[in-house]
Structure 1
């Protein structure tokens, strides 16, 4: 199963994360299928960059986001776009 999750970058005590699509059983910083954005929690407000079209493509193909990624997508408005396309298809 493909998951949308975070991989850690940055140095000690200064984390920066990538939002990636990868197999669920792959280790945290393992090989990713696609790089979908970045998340910097130390900036105020947290800096987020997303590739919305690619994220929506992965979600529509059945990828499952982790809780943290889902909350980031909700704050950025991508999750609502996904739900809107999901209800239109029915």
Structure 2
């Protein structure tokens, strides 16, 4: 079976939101998937769509077929959204990378202080 780019239902009853995923065509709607490409929240006003178009293009070059709904959402994302759907950018982990660098810096400072204290005691 070819791979498909489709929506995976998340959320609770009557409060659905969806993840845009790459999955094998034979797997169930909410079953196993290969990669998450973004999400779609139709109940927020305006509906929120965040999708990584570079990853979508990469998967489509490899032969993945988007479902009809995902094809429509991709078109809206490429146009920049419309009055019904607001398009956002996928968030990169820039903040978490900066925080981890700060933590590493403070760890190094603490280790240097401990080493200096040990040297002073000896």
Q: CA RMSD in A?
A: 1.0
User: Which entry has the higher C-alpha Rg, 1 or 2?
Assistant: 2
Q: CA deviation at 1:52?
A: 1.6
More strand by percentage: 1
Q: CA deviation at 1:31?
A: 0.9
1:44-67 deviation line (CA, Å, top 9, x unaligned)? 221011112111100111110000
Greater relative CO (CA pairs within 8 A, separation 6+):
1
Tell me the equivalent position of 2:43.
42
- Structure 2 spans left out of the alignment, 5+ residues: 80-122
CA distance in 2, matches of 1:60, 1:77: 17
**Equivalent pairs, count:** 78
- The TM-score, its normalising length taken from structure 2, stands at 0.62
**Structure 1 outlier segments of 4+, above 3 Å:** none
More helix by percentage: 2
